[in-house]
Structure 1
Amino acid sequence: MHVPPVFHEDNPEILHGIIRNARLAQFVTATAKGPIATPLPLFLDTEEGEFGVLYGHLAQPNPQWKEPVLGEALAIFMGADAYISASWYPSKQLHHKVVPTWNYEAVQAFGPVEFFRDPNRLLAIVTRLTNQHEATQKTPWHVTDAPDAFIQGQLKGVVGLRMPITRLLAKRKMSQNRGADDRAGVVRGLAASADLLDRAVAQMIPVEGDAIRPDLD
């Protein structure tokens, strides 16, 4: 991923937040047969290693775990994003030398991957993933709600993955390369959108002074 210095992000709290808020990652491996990518929910354990460890599981018929991995694996996490219209820039009225763009957050995690079939390790991963995503439910479902024999049968159909992160590459493109007036115009444009994600991105644009940021409540 190309990351100009103005969009570079290395704050661990921000990076971990993007990873945890991304409901689905793209898990990518390079193989002799070409790249393989699988959309996967992954969870981050920051208690392990310098950069943390990612855990998840693949369906047993998925060929990705069977193909030897060339080099490190890659997990891609996308955060908030929004289309930015050139018409929102006040500078358009001055010289018209503006074009549309896209604002977004992205984190790429790299590291060696281990695939495993051990039922106890798989159960621990499935339980943690379930608890993480059920936490917002009014009546959370727990793995132990299902019969043990049924769960053990389900575990035979998946393969676990463990990926210790060796490095993180992150980009937060939020109009930092525009002047204060143009950034304020972007905030106004996004704030006027009916799309909740657009309005969320409006809150992420760096502005000078609270007065120019619309109340999005």
Structure 2
Amino acid sequence: MYNPPAFREDDPEILAAIMAAARLCTLVSNGPEEVPLITHLPLQFSDGVVIGHMARANPHWHGLRRGVAIFPGVEAYVSPSFYPSKAETHQVVPTWNYEAVHAHGPIEVVEDAARLHEIVSGLTRAHEEKRAEPWAVTDAPERYIAGQLKGIVGIVLRVERLIGKRKLSQNRNAVDAAGAAAGLAASPDARDQAVAAAMVLARR
């Protein structure tokens, strides 16, 4: 990932928060004939390990040894009109602000039914816990779940390296950065508002 010094994020707590908030992630690994293999899937990070699962019918897991799990964070288009300097010089262009974390490491493919049950149960709890009446894997018939587990494989990536990027207008002067944050905060789109909040925190 191209990551200029101004945008690098190394704080473990910030990286963990971005990863915890991510919903649909991406797993990338080297494939045959130098063509990358890519799967979009929910992933969970805890204690230096990334876990998830994919369909057994997906050929991606065959021969899977190492990979990169990509956790997307907040993102938004930044209009040149947000910058006060536009009125003075007009030497501004659009850009995109965003956060992302890449987790690199060796991958274990899990086929054991008991471990698969733990993986899907953990992922389910993570995404159901905020619901008024959370659904649990144990709510479904045991025999049905056993059948469903036969159709997936688990993915366990042991993180060797985390690379974090938070491109939040750090390369702009304070006035333009504040203008961009204000412009995004005024947007009716919650995604823009989330980027504005991240920009304010990044400047503290």
Q: What TM-score range do you get, normalising by the shorter chain?
A: over 0.9
Please show how residues 103-142 of structure 1 align to structure 2 within 5 Å: 103-142=97-136
Aligned counterpart, 1:97: 91
Higher helix share: 2
**Post-superposition, which runs of at least 4 consecutive aligned residues in structure 1 deviate over 6 A?**
207-210
Aligned counterpart, 1:32: 32
Q: Does 1:43 align with 2:37?
A: no
Q: 1-side partners of 2:198 and 2:116: how far apart?
A: 37
Q: 1-side partners of 2:202 and 2:114: how far apart?
A: 52
Amino acid at match of 2:36: P
Percent of paired sites with the same residue: 50
Shift of residue 95, structure 1, vs aligned partner:
1.2
Aligned counterpart, 2:77: 83
Please show how residues 56-205 of structure 1 align to structure 2 within 5 Å: 56-66=52-62, 68-69=63-64, 72-205=66-199
Structure 1 SS opposite 2:198: coil
Structure 1 window deviating more from structure 2 (16-25 vs 184-193): it is 184-193
Instruction: State the Cα deviation string for residues 127-178 of structure 1 (Å, max 9, x = none).
Output: 1011111101111111111111111111111101111000011110100111
Shift of residue 209, structure 1, vs aligned partner:
9.5
In the comparison of the two structures, how many residue pairs are matched? 203
Q: 1-side partners of 2:14 and 2:162: how far apart?
A: 12
**8 Å contact 1:83–1:102 — kept in the other structure?**
yes
Q: 2-side partners of 1:56 and 1:207: how far apart?
A: 30
Structure 2 SS opposite 1:177: coil
Normalised by the length of structure 1, the TM-score is 0.89
Normalised by the length of structure 2, the TM-score is 0.95
Structure 2 SS opposite 1:97: coil
Amino acid at match of 1:42: L
Distance 1:145 1:190, change over 3 A: same
Aligned counterpart, 2:10: 10
Gaps of 5+ in 1: 47-51, 211-217
Structure 2 SS opposite 1:127: helix
Structure 2 SS opposite 1:199: helix
Structure 2 SS opposite 1:43: strand
Amino acid at match of 2:162: L
Aligned counterpart, 1:213: none
Q: 1-side partners of 2:86 and 2:103: how far apart?
A: 37
Structure 2 SS opposite 1:205: helix
Shift of residue 96, structure 1, vs aligned partner:
1.2
Instruction: State the Cα deviation string for residues 99-135 of structure 1 (Å, max 9, x = none).
Output: 1100000101101111121001000001101111110
- CA RMSD across the alignment: 1.7
Structure 2 SS opposite 1:17: helix
Amino acid at match of 2:43: L
Shift of residue 206, structure 1, vs aligned partner:
4.0
Structure 1 window deviating more from structure 2 (18-27 vs 199-208): it is 199-208
